[in-house]
Structure 1
């Protein structure tokens, strides 16, 4: 069998004739050339046994076509893969850009909503504040008007009360003056009656030869004009000065052993009538006991409290009340 070597020029000429080179890019051409070189080397090194040169060429061409087709398919797959990857990357990038844009838009939307909400909240707060201020002002005005109205009413009431009090005071004053006048007239009448009684006693004493009565009466009158039978304020016990006066009274009674007396006690109008009656009685009992302690027989002594009755002057002042708080000594025939 004859061995034939296929020159590379023959294969190149065939490929040019079939326009394979025209359909390939530079990279594909490089691959074809590499295949061609490889085939040439293989052809140079291998002795093919073929019946004829044409058959051998056809076989080589077919083999080359198959290799070229496989390589072309591989290149097409690579390009498709590259395109797919590029498209995938582009899509991913576009999606990333879109996602970023959406995220930024959403963030912006949220920010706008937040700012709008904040502005709304501030506006509502300002509105509430303004409303409260208006309510406070209105309430203050209302309260001020109410206060002014109450003040006017209170002033009018005070004026009316003052007028009523003035009228009442005038009436009380007139009534008091009338009572005082009546009491003064009564006192004057009593004094006149007393003077008449004293005169009658003197006359009677002279007629009945009761010289002792006249003497003791003068002595007691002189004593009580210079001294007073005083008690501690609010108590029934005698003061030091009061004790001295009662002691002097006992000495006078000792000089006139046949004379009997009434110890009469009076108070002012302060307090209740019952209390004043009790106080006056307890005080005259104290005077009686003191006289008894000084040697005066109880048979010669009569003690009677008259309370706030029979005042010497109206109980309208401290001075007058002091005059009405007194002990009187009356000469009596029988105790």
Structure 2
């Protein structure tokens, strides 16, 4: 399928730099476009009405990961360098960018954290785009060091670094509890505690999985430059599905209740559990990596409803939504969004619900 089929006019698209709370609004105040696959109809509404589209017995699945700062200061000899983490790899290595005014950056270079002298970074091999594959040791110190001492200085994530440093809670969902992502799992930012309480009161069950978004846009994982979408490659990401989540998903499937994925990260996680298995196979708890790439032609086995943000053209995210709702339907919805005007895109923008 041609990638150009996922283009749309985005010359006037609004992409906020900050979450809605930092713009004087409530979390759940955004707009929402609803795509009803059973009727082929599109509705324009506001996010708090999402309760109206849920049914008693639905299972709402959330991603409880949140984004870390990704930049640390390191020493080597008398020199101070900036190390920015851009992605994690299944082999235990990490993709980094090293910035230094004087120091030659080369294989084997060993850096010592300026904030925690126990954490070292060894450069293993060069990568495209002036990046490096590196090894942090001891590896278990990387996340707590990023959380305690890290900064957000790069421009790979569309946010205001100053505001990020001042109010990190605004950049994570109200239910987030596990640090590890390098980009924001953003679909859940729209939920407030009050709205989640209303959803629960309606009889909707809720559970959580964890997927740490492991590679930022500097690695071109979202924008598809290939002429054919099938030739695009996505990077692996780490996920965890615990006993409780697996049990609830299995029970909902067995009883014919809908499973609602909040975000493409949840979609990718749940569908990864069922790839190459019988349609009704039991979901097993797992803590592993997925390289699943979802595009039109993919057979969905777990998710029935998807909540996602509004995505850029030629992105792997818009391709995923097209796989779920149909390309023509999704692209027609983006045409309508353009005609209505005022919709906000990307991680701090408005949302799309596909039922």
Q: Which TM class, normalised by the smaller chain length?
A: under 0.3
Question: Relative contact order (C-alpha < 8 Å, sep 6+): which is higher?
Answer: 2
| TM-score (ref. length: structure 2) | 0.20
| Structure with greater strand percent | 2
